[in-house]
A and B are shown apart, each in its own frame.
Chain A
């Protein structure tokens, strides 16, 4: 977080559900909305499948930031999956604080399928937030991974 260092391009991993979130990505593409290129998208059947192990695995593999994209609360295609995602993200943020990496590197956004701009905004928001935090100290990959 030193301001005089050259800006870096954060590597982000986005876990999306297969409904609203993934569709919003399609919409962004159809609308030719610009968003940062360094976002790897992982599609889940529903954000209710979000598992802290996936989120941590993304960081272990060198992600600077991770976020979940879900249907709006109250509109989950599987009724309440997005609520579980929110609860798990919050718990994992606390775990990341304990680990020493910092829970700010993990986020969650809610948007519906037609919101292409929001898909891009989520990507830009996380990118700027993580840019401010600097590259993940684990970025060289963990030598101790088995």
Chain B
């Protein structure tokens, strides 16, 4: 059955964006085991707080329960997944087969990613697939939904998968000048929305959005900015030094560090509490600042292994309760 009212997928995220509301998505990583209760617990923290939750796909090339399986569990818990699919582990046959299953089992958002190289993970001797790249995956998703055709051209006889299609964007990755063009390519390929890499550097992000607006891409797809609470100065420095595509201005590091000023070094728990509280405060302020940028349609909150932080952040930013759509 096709969705009515001109919706592509009818997912909550899509409805939220179409209604003009500032959208909020979250993220959860499936367990490295068959223990589905981990997913159910994380869903509990995020239900009613986000419009969709990203379910990662063997993130950092470490084997976890598949994003398809974990997404189905999320559906069971009443929390809409944004299922992530990388190009690293599956060829176009496996991808399309998983799309069919995912849609049949209630998944309505699909995020196309290239995927971290397997040398980062726990199976570095594996063969990497990369039959397609993320843009070719976007085109495949779009043609399945809008033209009811498999990648080979064969028609889908029966229900086609109708996802709200997402992609990732890295505004500060290099070459920086090419990134808005690459976003334009993703829009043309079929992305309905993108979630950016974590942003801590607002001026750099504003510059990116300026060019994105000049190219008109903000009208072709919805930009959700990646935000994440810092747990402390060590995490801030790690982001700055070791994660490609993230710059952290010095004043951000100084501010989070300063939150534990006056607490003696031996009182580790107290210091961490102070840093975390400041991290949440800073994230709230960041969201409020990003909302003012023309072309920003929402935020993607990544509270890595700290899902309990999402609710206070979204509440503090004035985004709760989530509007009904």
A and B touch in the complex (CB under 8 A): no
